Copies of this chain bind each other. A is one copy, B any other.
């Protein structure tokens, strides 16, 4: 063993990376930050015309897959499209209510945006349209500004303005390649937020479900429950409750069937078309019994005809636009998070690449154009995308099919919906959003990472007990705090020798590892930055103090060599180097030698530039901890 280590310590010194110019360094950093996916690679070494064609195909992926589109794919897409259409029509009408809009606006939002996305989007499985959480969020933010009943005109104008700016935000993030910003909403926070939003949405449905007329505008559980109990005396409408619960039971049963047989993928259509069947049945029932005259609330009127233009309703400047901008940014980001999460999930399942930034441009364009055609913020829907996937969709053509069905509905069928009871829409929404509560994910988070669980619960309770916006704020804050805390208090570990090897490992993880007498080996588990440089220095000195106390107590040889394993230290800044210099000074006063093991390329370069290596001596840098033990404390190595 000794022979082995000697030869290697002679042959290899700690490597200094070749010097790079500032420009190279900077370009590299920028590239990894903004162009991590190297989007320009296909354009390299290509003639102009080819580049143009590639560019067009990049912008409109439809041009790409359109070339080998065939009849069998079309068949699959038509089946998938019809399935999601049957699911989306009743959902759209219900979600519009969450956004405090008239029902037809939900349908409008399922007509234009999917068409735009079909041309520009690159996810093959996503189903576009209004979704529950964004509808709720948008409704909550908008009604802070205008009352949706008494100021209907202004409310709607602000909705379109916000939608426009949501699109602008999304497109800008993608265009500026800032898509990574949405990664700052952690998985745990999303799970909590979605769960909370689902419960909030379900609670909101109690209004339609119980036939309550006076209902709170707040979304928190306390206000809602107060509304519910407060209305007991006025009496809940039993006919409404009967319809609601019967169909909710039916929908949940259908869902259960669909899930049970999921392996065979044969019965996916059962939960998918159950809502439409419920709507048809319930509408027919109400129509023949004239239950609406006995207090069952119905949809009453849906405007017939396709989307009217709303360009003249959008304000592009002034304080009105500023309000719309603020709301649009929040709603746009949340919508983006949902759409990108869905896109990534299904891309991973079918193993194709998805350019997040490209997707954002597509989604943004879609919402900008949508806002001009009376649509409010649309995005990818979790439930409908899953159905789309299971129904065997091949391309975004399924969205086109859905969109055409919605168009036909708008042109021909809307009058039929006027007898649809609100209770059935509530049942459909409740059954849809229950799928957003991901117990299993929450349990896994609890098991794996307690801090993540705090973020998850913070978002959840924030949404349920306060409001959607506050829940979102809590989620983002805790996520950021987690990152900051981690770089503020990095872990450190004492290393010991694994018997019979040159390998040194954390003595807590490997209880068989043996501490080297007279040598203290500390591994620092993080980049040493301003935020932790003081802590790291003090922590290392504390390890040393603890060690010295033990020696005094147990009469062990004194520590005369401290080795810092820098393998996990990925970077260091001026504060970090400053702390290392102070550490070195303290060690000199105590006559303890300092050795550095395995510094990385960036670290070694910076240590050299800051003349820290000159300070401690080039010979104190070692390739491995093993060599450092031999080199730093020669008299010790003989004993090992």
Q: Is A428 an interface residue (CB 8 A)?
A: no
Tell me the chain A residues, 569-609 only, with Cβ under 8 Å from chain B: 569-571, 573-575, 577-578, 582, 585-586, 589, 600-602, 604, 606, 609
Q: Are B509 and A17 in contact (CB under 8 A)?
A: yes
Q: Are A486 and B532 in contact (CB under 8 A)?
A: no
Instruction: State in angstroms the CA–CA spacing of A130 and B577 once bound together.
Output: 31
Tell me the chain A residues, 529-578 only, with Cβ under 8 Å from chain B: 529-535, 538-539, 542, 567-571, 573-575, 577-578
Instruction: State in angstroms the CA–CA spacing of A127 and B592 once bound together.
Output: 32
List residues of chain B with CB within 8 A of the CB of A487: 483, 486-487
Q: Are A525 and B570 in contact (CB under 8 A)?
A: yes
Binding-face segment, A81-89, A94-102, A180-188: A180-188
Known: A7-B500, A8-B498, A183-B531. A188 touches B449 (CB 8 A): no
Q: Is A156 an interface residue (CB 8 A)?
A: no
Instruction: State in angstroms the CA–CA spacing of A385 and B527 once bound together.
Output: 32
| CB of A232, distance to nearest CB on chain B (Å) | 41
Q: Which residue of B lies closest to A535 (CB)?
A: B36
Q: Interface readout for A485-524 with B: 1 if CB under 8 Å, 0 if not?
A: 1111111010000111101011011111000000000000
Q: Interface readout for A14-47 with B: 1 if CB under 8 Å, 0 if not?
A: 0111100010011001001100111000000000
> For this complex, into which size category does the number of interface residues on chain A fall?
35 or more
List residues of chain B with CB within 8 A of the CB of A22: 450
Q: Is A119 an interface residue (CB 8 A)?
A: no
Instruction: State in angstroms the CA–CA spacing of A484 and B480 once bound together.
Output: 8
Instruction: State in angstroms the CA–CA spacing of A610 and B344 once bound together.
Output: 20
Within the oligomer, what is the number of copies of this chain?
Answer: 2
List residues of chain B with CB within 8 A of the CB of A485: 33
| CB of A587, distance to nearest CB on chain B (Å) | 10
Which of A29, A480, A534, A573 has its CB near the most chain B CB atoms (within 10 A)?
Answer: A573
Q: Are B25 and A450 in contact (CB under 8 A)?
A: yes
Tell me the chain A residues, 172-190 only, with Cβ under 8 Å from chain B: 180, 183-188
Binding-face segment, A72-80, A386-394, A440-448: A440-448
Known: A483-B487, A503-B12, A574-B188. A450 touches B1 (CB 8 A): no
Q: Is A67 an interface residue (CB 8 A)?
A: no
| CB of A37, distance to nearest CB on chain B (Å) | 6
Q: Is A452 an interface residue (CB 8 A)?
A: yes
Q: Are B606 and A575 in contact (CB under 8 A)?
A: no
Instruction: State in angstroms the CA–CA spacing of A22 and B446 once bound together.
Output: 10
| CB of A42, distance to nearest CB on chain B (Å) | 12
List residues of chain B with CB within 8 A of the CB of A447: 609-610
| CB of A94, distance to nearest CB on chain B (Å) | 31
Known: A183-B532, A610-B448. A510 touches B32 (CB 8 A): no
List residues of chain B with CB within 8 A of the CB of A491: 570-571, 602
Q: Are B568 and A11 in contact (CB under 8 A)?
A: no
Which of A186, A187, A344 has its CB near the most chain B CB atoms (within 10 A)?
Answer: A187
Q: Are B574 and A444 in contact (CB under 8 A)?
A: yes
Q: Are B624 and A575 in contact (CB under 8 A)?
A: no
Q: Is A234 an interface residue (CB 8 A)?
A: no
Known: A15-B511, A17-B508, A570-B526. A586 touches B351 (CB 8 A): yes
Q: Are A15 and B183 in contact (CB under 8 A)?
A: no
List residues of chain B with CB within 8 A of the CB of A538: 36-37
Instruction: State in angstroms the CA–CA spacing of A489 and B508 once bound together.
Output: 30
Q: Is A479 an interface residue (CB 8 A)?
A: yes
| CB of A256, distance to nearest CB on chain B (Å) | 26
Q: Are A38 and B542 in contact (CB under 8 A)?
A: yes
Q: Are A570 and B490 in contact (CB under 8 A)?
A: yes
Contact of A33 (CB < 8 Å), options: B452, B480, B489, B498: B489
Q: Is A623 an interface residue (CB 8 A)?
A: yes
Q: Is A4 an interface residue (CB 8 A)?
A: yes
Q: Is A348 an interface residue (CB 8 A)?
A: yes
List residues of chain B with CB within 8 A of the CB of A451: 29
| CB of A242, distance to nearest CB on chain B (Å) | 42
Q: Are B187 and A530 in contact (CB under 8 A)?
A: yes
Q: Are B503 and A623 in contact (CB under 8 A)?
A: yes
Q: Are B574 and A448 in contact (CB under 8 A)?
A: yes
Instruction: State in angstroms the CA–CA spacing of A526 and B186 once bound together.
Output: 17
Q: Are B568 and A568 in contact (CB under 8 A)?
A: yes
List residues of chain B with CB within 8 A of the CB of A571: 486, 491
| CB of A470, distance to nearest CB on chain B (Å) | 21
Known: A32-B489, A489-B36. A530 touches B186 (CB 8 A): yes
List residues of chain B with CB within 8 A of the CB of A29: 451, 489
Contact of A4 (CB < 8 Å), options: B1, B12, B38, B610: B1
Instruction: State in angstroms the CA–CA spacing of A484 and B510 once bound together.
Output: 32
Given contacts A483-B487, A508-B601, 10 further A-B contacts (CB under 8 A): A4-B501, A18-B508, A22-B450, A180-B535, A187-B574, A356-B534, A444-B574, A448-B574, A509-B601, A568-B569
Q: 10 nearest interchain CB pairs? A: A186-B530, A509-B601, A187-B575, A525-B570, A15-B510, A568-B568, A15-B509, A8-B501, A348-B582, A447-B609
26 residue pairs of the A-B complex, CB under 8 angstroms, read A1-B4, A12-B510, A18-B508, A18-B511, A36-B489, A36-B542, A180-B489, A183-B530, A183-B532, A184-B484, A185-B530, A188-B530, A348-B586, A444-B610, A448-B573, A448-B606, A448-B609, A482-B529, A483-B484, A486-B527, A491-B602, A506-B601, A525-B600, A567-B568, A568-B568, A568-B569
